[in-house]
Amino acid sequence: MSEILDLVGIFVFALSGALMGVRKRLDVVGMAVIAEMTALGGGVVRDLILNVRPTAFQSSGYVLVPVLATAIVFFWHPHVARVMPAILVLDAAGLGLFCAVGTEKALDYGLSPLHAALLGVTTAIGGGMLRDVLAGEIPTLLYDRQLYAVPAMLGSAAMAALYTHDLHGWHATLAAAVLAFGLRIAAMRYNWRAPLARGVKSTE
């Protein structure tokens, strides 16, 4: 079940990467590369830091799912763009899932709650950062004007707190994931923004 959820999250992240490739007028190879990086980058970085073989290299599905997402966007990107609101909801679910699972895995490998939470955030937004860098955009983490990184931070912190109180398993993971998901959805619904430095006016 956890692998299925992982693949769903990877598929949604890959769609966003491939769509970025379309907006940047990349060819199909560029679209596939940016989709793979978006979908797998955070998890690969997490596993390398934990000094374990990346999960993405243990199953062909982790590599093939982004290829499928790229093919869908390549042929039907206008239709995919039209259902972007639904994709953003799934993206928020993937964000919540990945930050919780990433934090829990880091804790299982002996990291402190603080470092595990940081690694959980890396799992959730690392691929998006790679996507933005490859596309020449300001990474979301550095310009969190749509509260994308903040929900991941709070979800990871919640997962670490639950874990330190001996609350493990799917129920704790689900609770942390739902928290991050809910905050991300609320930010999109109510147009919440992270504050700029004092005296700096927003251009939005």
pLDDT profile of the chain (204 residues), mean per 10: 77 90 94 95 94 90 94 92 82 90 94 96 92 86 75 96 91 93 92 82 68
Per-residue buried b or exposed e for 150-183, using 16+ beta carbons within 10 Å of the residue's own CB: bbbbbbbbbbbebbeeeeeeeebbeebbbbbbeb
Nearest-angstrom CA–CA distance, 5 and 94:
8
Q: How confident is the model at residue 203, as a pLDDT?
A: 66
Burial class (CB in 10 A: 0-12, 13-18, 19+), 61: middle
Q: How confident is the model at residue 144, as a pLDDT?
A: 59
Q: How confident is the model at residue 145, as a pLDDT?
A: 61
Q: What is the DSSP letter of 131?
A: H
Q: How confident is the model at residue 110, as a pLDDT?
A: 95
Give the type of residue at 62: Y
Joined together, the tokens standing for residue 45 give: 């970085």
Nearest-angstrom CA–CA distance, 72 and 140:
25
Nearest-angstrom CA–CA distance, 41 and 165:
30
Tell me the domain boundaries of the chain.
Answer: 2-190
Q: How confident is the model at residue 204, as a pLDDT?
A: 60
Q: How confident is the model at residue 142, as a pLDDT?
A: 74
Q: Are 141 and 125 in contact (CB under 8 A)?
A: yes
